[in-house]
Amino acid sequence: MSKERIDLMFQTLKEKNEKAFVAYIMAGDGGLLTLRDNIQFLQESGVSLVELGIPFSDPVADGPTIQEAGLRALREGTTLKKVLNEIASFRESIEIPIVIMTYMNPVYAYGVEQFANDCELAGIDGLIIPDVPMEEEAIIHPYLKEKQIALIRLVTLTSPLERIKAIAEGTEGFLYAVTVTGTTGERSQIHENLGGYLQKLKEISPAPVLAGFGISTHEQVKGIGGLCDGVIVGSKIVDSLHFGKHEEIIKLINPEKTLVQ
């Protein structure tokens, strides 16, 4: 099914006049055996897509909360291969798309072609690699394209207009709009130019635009989501899962819904 599952998700949301809610979680945080239950819980809570982080010792885009989750996962012995094997074991029971967020080093160590093959076997729908610029995508994109796995590109508030156009034109699945200047993490305020930035991306991008980084309250989810096609929430969800505060995740997605015991 691969990236078709992402396209179908957005099509269904558009028909319902709803926005996408993407939840980022760290694979292996709490042990790999929690992964299935966590994704199942997020699906039942109304999450549209799961962005699954792969723990890495030298992250460049992750703030403190996700860095700490990555370190916990590494201490649990989590590896990229173990994650893919675990997903493959339960993928048929999950309906929503799963996108992997990793850095290039673990993929190199894995073997790029083998990685793409195993992603296909595990039912991975897309890939986000923050440290691979557009100019270097040839090292992995052909292998993903062969397997119909979306390569999702990121743009930032500081990206020049011509570069934004080039990135948006080539993105697959959706365009990941970074909404802060810095790393991931909860923010109390949004950037003053965010509205204009997201509007411009919507005008330029042929793919849906999702906003991520720094979104941690339902008000931000509604406000920022109203400016584009949906939001990506990471640090708040990672923290809530770590401390067993599932009710907070429910409230973040839909405050009117209560946790079913």
Tokens 């042929």 -> residue: 206
Query: Which region holds residue 32: left if phi is over 0, alpha if psi is between -120 and 50, else beta?
Result: alpha
Q: Which of 29, 62, 86, 239 is catalytic?
A: 62
- Respond yes or no: is residue 51 known to be catalytic: yes
Encoded tokens for 12:
């269904």
Q: Specify whether 37 is catalytic.
A: no
Burial label for 15, CB within 10 Å (0-12, 13-18, 19+), is exposed
DSSP secondary structure letters along 63-107: -HHHHHHHHHHHHTT--HHHHHHHHHHHGGG--S-EEEE--HHHH
Give the sign of the dihedral formed by CA 20, CA 5, CA 47, CA 12: positive
Residues 6+ apart with CB under 8 A from 178: 154, 155, 156, 157, 212, 213
Catalytic position from the list 7, 29, 51, 172: 51
Virtual torsion, Cα 141, 162, 232, 206, nearest 10 deg: -70
Q: Which of 193, 207, 206 is nearest to 159 (CA)?
A: 193
Give catalytic residue positions. Answer: 51, 62
